[in-house]
């Protein structure tokens, strides 16, 4: 493979959206940030210089980072932050992933220090991984490809959102718009001019590369009068299927074919929230872009663009009708390796919790403060990074006792739960796995406070989604229904609202890896944990030595 060199300068820049200008963090002054292109098997070397007044790290979402947790970029997990004025180089070997993935600033925890807050709201971009030399797409080559990044825009400074929510104990503020390629679109004030336009020629096929860089909502996305053919998710091919809409969670990416086969006209592409935790409030606005047919130089469009119909904000069935169509391609060229037997069984509850206020402001529900947890442990980010602590055996940074099962048995879907489960424990705990163990992890959504579709993302791995269901996972009934033939391979999976998912993977990537909800408010409240996979015996099964420019906290 080839090696591609990039230099990323993180700096503040003024952008105008929704009628007002503000400074946002960018890479190289761009919003959304630069798109990286490479072939599978290539290497990316990205030199980052921080010219901003905030700490920063960059995560390569969907890259396996085989044996190289040093370049995974989760702040205080894989590295110390790149402080203002500092540099760091990410060395990325592309291995298993092929298709559309992305990169973003990574800070999932509360602001403990001079913090990087919700930097990823504006510091993100696409990574396109093409088939290796001598190989081709598993579908007819599209005529053109079109990157589509879904995002959000706040009028306020996103770097203050976590800090302010921490002060009040309440919900972080909602965004003021959803965006398509950085633009809110026709239905928001002062936005018509910038609306994203995609020009198409009748008869051609387009590969839409869609990334959800959205912070806080799952989205439905659709294009008026056009079928979408899904061919990939999270950098893995799927069996192609047609659909009128997709449901995409924060963190996910999808490859979609679109045939321009309608009458030459204007059509809206549109996205809005899928937000089953309606009690918590949500932004019900719609972002749009325009699909515009080219007609030999003339633009004689008869009417306003057609609008697609999107499922309702609480359309859990619509969401699962879509996700259950996802199947791995599982062809000869793109074979899969689902662990058929598993030797390590993990069960994590995923919960939003409440805390007593003890002297602090109390703007959460029932006079309490918001918190969130996995297995009732709310993750506390350390002040120096876990990977270095592990590698150099520095004591006191983290514990290795994250529980493999929840602390109590209870009805995860009920509304009347034991009080003790409303109050999580706090800790910086990792779950330790033996190298090469074959793992099954059940992620059980709970109704401790409100249920939501939690998009859970595992760093350093892709996994197979072998099963899901509503209600409580039943170890006697549910495993017999697993799909072990062609389960979708993903790096982010939404736990169905009031339900569970079962994922399987082989622990073949040693290192320190974050697992968290990609809804930023939940991650900020503590919905994270660390999976530490031990080295194997052979030298190619151990993590690589640290880079020369290793940062100290
Ligand atoms: Cu895209 Cu840890 O995140
Ligand atoms: Cu969540």
Q: Are residues 288 and 157 located together in one domain of the fold?
A: yes
Q: What is the mean pLDDT of the chain?
A: 93
The finding on whether 397 has its CB within 6 A of some atom of ligand 1 is no
Count of Cβ atoms closer than 10 Å to residue 389 Cβ: 19
Task: Examine the pLDDT at 416 and tell me if it is beyond 70.
Answer: no
Instruction: Give the confidence band of 111 by pLDDT, cuts at 50, 70, 90.
Output: very low
Range of the domain at 246: 139-329
pLDDT of res. 174:
92
The torsion defined by the Cα of 7, 8, 14 and 19, in degrees rounded to 10, comes to: 110
Work out which ligand 1 atom sits closest to the CA atom of 516.
Answer: 2
Distance of CA 203 from the midpoint of ligand 1 (Å) = 37
Distance of CA 331 from the midpoint of ligand 2 (Å) = 33
Residue with the smallest CA separation from ligand 1 atom 3 is: 61
pLDDT of res. 162:
85
- 33-73 pLDDT tens trace: 999 999 999 999 999 999 998 999 999 999 999 999 999 99
The finding on whether 106 has its CB within 6 A of some atom of ligand 1 is yes
Interatomic CA distance for residues 41 and 36, integer angstroms: 14
Q: Are residues 371 and 505 located together in one domain of the fold?
A: yes
Which residues, 6+ apart, have CB-to-CB distance to 371 below 8 Å?
Answer: 352, 353, 354, 355, 378, 424, 525, 526
Distance of CA 454 from the midpoint of ligand 1 (Å) = 13
The finding on whether 459 has its CB within 6 A of some atom of ligand 1 is yes
pLDDT of res. 512:
98
Interatomic CA distance for residues 526 and 515, integer angstroms: 11
Instruction: Calculate mean pLDDT across residues 356-372.
Output: 88
Instruction: Give the confidence band of 446 by pLDDT, cuts at 50, 70, 90.
Output: confident
Q: Are residues 318 and 351 located together in one domain of the fold?
A: no
The finding on whether 516 has its CB within 6 A of some atom of ligand 1 is yes
Distance of CA 198 from the midpoint of ligand 2 (Å) = 33
SS3 of 319-385: the string is HHHHHCCCCECCCCCCCCCCCCCCCEEEEEEEEEEEECCCCCCCCCHHHCEEEEEECCEEECCCCCC
Work out which ligand 1 atom sits closest to the CA atom of 120.
Answer: 1
Q: Could you tell me if 284 and 273 are in contact, meaning their C-beta atoms sit under 8 angstroms apart?
A: yes
pLDDT of res. 412:
66
End residue of a domain, out of 277, 300, 329: 329
Distance of CA 319 from the midpoint of ligand 1 (Å) = 22
Task: Examine the pLDDT at 395 and tell me if it is beyond 50.
Answer: yes
CATH code assigned at 240? 2.60.40.420
Distance of CA 527 from the midpoint of ligand 2 (Å) = 7
- 477-516 pLDDT tens trace: 999 999 999 999 999 999 998 899 999 999 999 999 999 9
Work out which ligand 1 atom sits closest to the CA atom of 104.
Answer: 1
- Give the ligand whose atoms come closest to the C-alpha of residue 522: 2
Work out which ligand 1 atom sits closest to the CA atom of 250.
Answer: 1
Q: Flag whether 449 is in a domain.
A: yes
Q: Flag whether 338 is in a domain.
A: no
The finding on whether 120 has its CB within 6 A of some atom of ligand 1 is no
pLDDT of res. 160:
87
Task: Examine the pLDDT at 407 and tell me if it is beyond 90.
Answer: no
Distance of CA 36 from the midpoint of ligand 1 (Å) = 17
Positive or negative, the CA dihedral 250, 45, 539, 489 is positive
Q: Flag whether 294 is in a domain.
A: yes
Interatomic CA distance for residues 375 and 443, integer angstroms: 10
Task: Examine the pLDDT at 420 and tell me if it is beyond 90.
Answer: no
Instruction: Give the confidence band of 108 by pLDDT, cuts at 50, 70, 90.
Output: low
Work out which ligand 1 atom sits closest to the CA atom of 459.
Answer: 2
- Give the ligand whose atoms come closest to the C-alpha of residue 514: 1
Distance of CA 436 from the midpoint of ligand 2 (Å) = 28
End residue of a domain, out of 329, 353, 379: 329
Q: Flag whether 62 is in a domain.
A: yes
Q: Flag whether 335 is in a domain.
A: no
Work out which ligand 1 atom sits closest to the CA atom of 62.
Answer: 1
Q: Are residues 51 and 94 located together in one domain of the fold?
A: yes
Q: Flag whether 550 is in a domain.
A: no
Q: Are residues 131 and 143 located together in one domain of the fold?
A: no
The finding on whether 61 has its CB within 6 A of some atom of ligand 1 is yes
Distance of CA 282 from the midpoint of ligand 2 (Å) = 14
The finding on whether 104 has its CB within 6 A of some atom of ligand 1 is yes
DSSP state of 553: -
What percent of the chain is modeled with pLDDT above 70? 94
Work out which ligand 1 atom sits closest to the CA atom of 514.
Answer: 2
The finding on whether 74 has its CB within 6 A of some atom of ligand 1 is yes
- Give the ligand whose atoms come closest to the C-alpha of residue 456: 2
- 93: which 2 tokens? 């070997």
Query: What Rg, from alpha-carbon coordinates, does the chain have?
Result: 22
Q: Flag whether 552 is in a domain.
A: no
Work out which ligand 1 atom sits closest to the CA atom of 61.
Answer: 1
Q: Where are the alpha helices (DSSP H) in 89-184?
A: 161-168
pLDDT of res. 363:
87
Q: Flag whether 375 is in a domain.
A: yes
The finding on whether 327 has its CB within 6 A of some atom of ligand 1 is no
Distance of CA 373 from the midpoint of ligand 2 (Å) = 9
Q: Are residues 505 and 438 located together in one domain of the fold?
A: yes
Task: Examine the pLDDT at 319 and tell me if it is beyond 80.
Answer: yes
Instruction: Give the confidence band of 217 by pLDDT, cuts at 50, 70, 90.
Output: very high
Task: Examine the pLDDT at 518 and tell me if it is beyond 80.
Answer: yes
Instruction: Give the confidence band of 409 by pLDDT, cuts at 50, 70, 90.
Output: low
pLDDT of res. 431:
98
pLDDT of res. 181:
98
Q: Are residues 77 and 196 located together in one domain of the fold?
A: no
Q: Are residues 202 and 291 located together in one domain of the fold?
A: yes
Instruction: Calculate mean pLDDT across residues 360-374.
Output: 89
Instruction: Calculate mean pLDDT across residues 207-214.
Output: 98
Q: Are residues 497 and 360 located together in one domain of the fold?
A: yes
End residue of a domain, out of 113, 135, 157: 135
Q: Could you tell me if 289 and 258 are in contact, meaning their C-beta atoms sit under 8 angstroms apart?
A: no
- 151-203 pLDDT tens trace: 999 999 998 888 888 888 888 999 999 999 999 999 999 999 999 999 999 99
Q: Are residues 311 and 444 located together in one domain of the fold?
A: no
pLDDT of res. 113:
52
Domain count, the chain: 3
The finding on whether 514 has its CB within 6 A of some atom of ligand 1 is yes
Q: What is the ipTM of this complex?
A: 0.99
Distance of CA 457 from the midpoint of ligand 1 (Å) = 6
Which residues, 6+ apart, have CB-to-CB distance to 109 below 8 Å?
Answer: 75, 76, 379, 380, 381, 523, 524, 526, 528
Q: Are residues 117 and 256 located together in one domain of the fold?
A: no
The finding on whether 455 has its CB within 6 A of some atom of ligand 1 is no
pLDDT of res. 298:
56
Instruction: Give the confidence band of 140 by pLDDT, cuts at 50, 70, 90.
Output: very high
Burial letters 199-234, b for 16+ CB under 10 A, else e? ebeeeebbbbbbbbbbbbbbbbbbbbbbebbbbbbb
Q: Are residues 114 and 222 located together in one domain of the fold?
A: no
Interatomic CA distance for residues 377 and 31, integer angstroms: 36
Q: Could you tell me if 524 and 108 are in contact, meaning their C-beta atoms sit under 8 angstroms apart?
A: yes
């Amino acid at each position: 493979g080839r090696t591609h060199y990039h230099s990323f300068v993180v700096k503040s820049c003024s952008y105008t959206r929704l009628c007002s200008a503000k400074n946002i963090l960018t890479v190289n002054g761009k919003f959304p940030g630069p798109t990286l292109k490479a072939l599978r098997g290539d290497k990316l070397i990205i030199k980052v210089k921080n010219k901003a007044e905030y700490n920063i790290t960059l995560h390569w979402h969907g890259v396996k980072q085989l044996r190289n947790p040093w370049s995974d970029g989760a702040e205080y997990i894989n590295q110390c932050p790149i402080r203002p004025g500092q540099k760091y180089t990410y060395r990325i070997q592309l291995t298993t992933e092929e298709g559309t993935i992305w990169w973003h600033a990574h800070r999932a925890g509360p602001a403990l220090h001079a913090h990087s807050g919700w930097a990823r709201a504006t510091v993100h971009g696409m990574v396109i991984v093409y088939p290796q030399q001598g190989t081709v797409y598993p579908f007819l080559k599209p005529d053109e490809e079109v990157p589509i990044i879904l995002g959000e825009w706040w009028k306020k400074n996103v770097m203050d959102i976590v800090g302010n929510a921490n002060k009040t104990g309440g919900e972080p503020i909602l965004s003021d718009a959803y965006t398509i390629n950085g633009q809110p679109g026709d239905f928001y004030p002062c936005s018509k001019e910038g609306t994203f336009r995609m020009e198409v020629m009748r008869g051609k096929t387009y590969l839409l590369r869609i990334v959800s860089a959205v912070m806080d909502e799952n989205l439905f996305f659709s294009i008026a009068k056009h079928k979408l053919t899904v061919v990939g998710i999270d950098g893995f091919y799927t069996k192609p299927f047609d659909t009128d809409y997709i449901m995409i969670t924060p963190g996910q990416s999808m490859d979609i074919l679109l045939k321009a086969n309608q009458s030459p006209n204007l059509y809206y592409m549109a996205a809005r929230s899928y937000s089953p935790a309606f009690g918590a409030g949500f932004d019900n606005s719609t972002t749009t872009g325009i699909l515009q047919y080219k007609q030999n130089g003339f633009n004689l469009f008869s009417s306003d663009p057609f609008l697609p119909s999107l499922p309702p904000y609480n359309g859990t069935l619509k969401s699962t009708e879509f996700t259950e169509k996802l199947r791995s391609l599982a062809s000869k060229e793109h074979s899969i390796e689902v662990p058929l037997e598993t030797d390590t069984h993990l069960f994590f509850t995923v919960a939003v919790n409440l805390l007593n206020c003890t002297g602090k402001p109390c703007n959460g529900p029932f006079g309490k403060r918001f918190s969130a947890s996995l297995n009732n442990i709310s993750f506390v980010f350390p002040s120096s990074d876990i990977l270095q602590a592990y590698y150099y055996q520095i004591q006191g940074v983290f514990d290795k006792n994250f529980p493999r099962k929840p602390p109590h048995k209870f009805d995860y879907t009920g509304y009347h739960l034991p009080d003790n489960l409303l109050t999580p424990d706090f800790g910086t705990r990792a779950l330790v796995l033996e190298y090469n163990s074959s793992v099954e992890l059940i992620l059980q959504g709970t109704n401790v406070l409100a249920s939501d579709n939690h998009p859970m993302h595992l760093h350093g791995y892709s996994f197979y989604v072998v099963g899901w269901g509503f209600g409580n996972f039943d170890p006697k009934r549910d495993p017999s229904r697993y799909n072990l033939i062609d389960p979708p391979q993903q790096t982010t999976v939404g736990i169905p609202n009031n339900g569970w998912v079962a994922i399987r993977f082989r622990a073949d990537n040693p290192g320190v890896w974050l697992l968290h909800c990609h809804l930023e408010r939940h991650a900020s409240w503590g919905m994270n944990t660390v999976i530490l996979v031990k080295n194997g015996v052979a030298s190619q099964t151990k993590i690589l030595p640290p880079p020369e420019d290793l940062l100290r906290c």
